[in-house]
């Protein structure tokens, strides 16, 4: 693996430095012999499809990722970005009373942004965006009682 490119906890490293040796105890535990010292490690999580691995060495946790040539091509094509749903409208998920809106017309919202607080059965529920969009219209006012499925907010 000499010359391979690795990302360890966000820091890029090259494989040319190498290890003196790795001794595998079993398929999870290993010992690294490096410059006359022993470091005990274990594989905590292995995501082989993503070329990522979380390892623990002497009680410190590291995320290791092997960079492949195709990874740069995927990045250049923009295929590494997660697809985010475009919002069109928000309907009431349950019957209740609108306590307040956290957005105004013209606001840009992203995934997880709080939109409004809805009181149902004496509990306050913060309704969050399930995608991204721009608020086009707010169809109800605060303190309004709504039924499940009523249109509350429209997005562009």
Range of the domain at 71: 5-76
Residue 58 lies in a domain: yes
Write the pLDDT tens digit of every residue in 72-106: 888 888 887 777 889 999 999 999 999 999 999 99
Q: What is the pTM of this model?
A: 0.52
Please check whether residues 149 and 108 belong to one and the same domain. yes
The answer as to whether 82 is a domain residue is no
Conformation bin of residue 73: beta by default, left when phi > 0, alpha when psi is -120 to 50: alpha
**Which of the pair, 18 or 136, is modelled with greater confidence?**
136
Number of H helices, E strands in the chain: 1, 15
Same domain for 97 and 69: no
């Amino acid at each position: 693996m000499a010359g391979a490119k690795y990302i360890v906890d966000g820091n890029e490293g090259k494989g040319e430095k190498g290890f003196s040796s790795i001794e595998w105890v079993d398929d999870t535990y290993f010992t690294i012999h490096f410059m006359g010292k022993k470091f005990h490690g274990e594989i905590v999580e292995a995501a082989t499809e993503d070329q990522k691995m979380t390892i623990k060495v002497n009680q410190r946790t590291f995320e290791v990722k092997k960079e492949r040539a195709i990874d740069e091509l995927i990045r250049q094509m923009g295929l590494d970005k997660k697809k985010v749903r475009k919002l069109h409208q928000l309907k009431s998920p349950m019957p209740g009373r609108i306590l307040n809106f956290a957005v105004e017309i013209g606001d840009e919202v992203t995934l997880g942004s709080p939109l409004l607080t809805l009181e149902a059965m004496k509990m306050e529920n913060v309704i969050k965006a399930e995608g991204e969009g721009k608020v086009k219209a707010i169809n109800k006012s605060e303190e309004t009682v709504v039924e499940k499925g009523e249109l509350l907010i429209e997005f562009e």
